[in-house]
Amino acid sequence: VETLYENYGFNKSVERSLNYYSKRIKEKFNVVLGRSGRYLSMITEIFKEKNLPQELVFLPLIESGFNMYAYSPARASGLWQFIAGTGKRYGLKIDWWVDERRDPIKATIAAADYLSDLYGMFGSWNLALAAYNAGEWRIVKAIDKTKTDDFWALRETRHIKKETKDYVPYYIAATAIAKDPEGFGFENVSYHEPMAYDEVVISSPMDIEAIARYAETDEKEIRNLNPELKRWCTPPNVSSYTVRIPAGTKEKFLAGISDTEDISFSIERYTVKKGDTIKKIASRLGISTDAVTELNSLNKNSRLAAGMTILVPPKSAAHLTKDTEVAKKKKSSKKSRRASKKKKNYLVTSAEKKGQTS
């Protein structure tokens, strides 16, 4: 396995990045370091299997801050900040029911494969990381125009954006601190416990509330273990679904669901009235139009006949039918455009990713 960290020198750009993390936002970065404890052992194991440099496990420090729900203005999501196109290219399912960019394990496998492909494409981890941030074809074009395949030389040209120029130094700095936190003044990092869970396969859709009940835990814990689930239940459009439940609860969970015929999938029926449209029904019930179309295999322009019965979400789940991430993006779009002109944070999300994943 190639080691990349030891080949880096601390040039001025890296020193500035070290100063940023260890002084300017030290308290915030300390929290992110602590959060990394939940996922690092899992990422390390996957990257070892994929024969990737172990230092790459720290990349989420600057991508998502190890926040599964991190969502950028460019609609990059999850631990590894994939945009939808790249996520799907690497096998992640993204639909109305689930977003596997937020699944820590599946997204890590996808990120490992993508990073491997980028290294195979460029033969340099500096360039691979730059491409992870900017998109591979932007780096290819920059190399073609400058006739150099050295990242630090490329960094001195106008052919890559400032965000990407800063990305590699920020990564090097974050990795240096993560490998030796005390050496950089982070003496009291409170690392989260590694994620521990059992897996169970359920053969029919099931409410998250019911999963929590049978596992003798709460909904918050089930969502923490399954952050890819976007709605009130597991997806009904698959024949079975694998759910993570707290470690040590598998036996009682399986015993519990085997003793009942009601697997607890909440759904309601609505009788269409004269003049009803999908939009009108959604508005009346306080749900999204997508909830109606997804549950009934319709499209938004489908005509509804009076008297027909359609499926709708339960009233208690109305708020879970709307994509809050998209709403948040629309609400803050002007603010995001203003922020994009300023210095990038490189902590909660690496940037507005317009070319590829990251």
Task: Name the residues annotated as catalytic.
Answer: 63
Spell out the residues 6+ positions from residue 2 whose beta carbon is closer than 8 angstroms to its own: 53, 125
Tokens read off for 215: 């596992």
What is the 8-class DSSP label of residue 269?
Answer: E
d(CA 278, CA 113) in angstroms, rounded, equals 41
In degrees rounded to 5, what are phi and psi of residue 71? -145, 120
Diameter of the chain measured on Cα atoms: 72
What is the per-residue burial (b if ≥16 Cβ within 10 Å, else e) of 297-321?
eeeeeeebeeeeebebbeeebbebb
What is the rounded end-to-end Cα distance, in angstroms, of the chain?
23
Amino acid identity for residue 189 in this structure: V
CB hemisphere CA count around 175 (13 angstroms): 22
Q: Are 150 and 122 in contact (CB under 8 A)?
A: no
d(CA 83, CA 63) in angstroms, rounded, equals 12
Handedness of CA 152, 157, 159, 162 (dihedral sign): positive
d(CA 352, CA 260) in angstroms, rounded, equals 48
d(CA 236, CA 230) in angstroms, rounded, equals 13
Count how many residues are written for the chain.
Answer: 358
Spell out the residues 6+ positions from residue 78 whose beta carbon is closer than 8 angstroms to its own: 64, 68, 69, 70, 87, 99, 101, 102, 103, 107, 227
d(CA 203, CA 74) in angstroms, rounded, equals 35
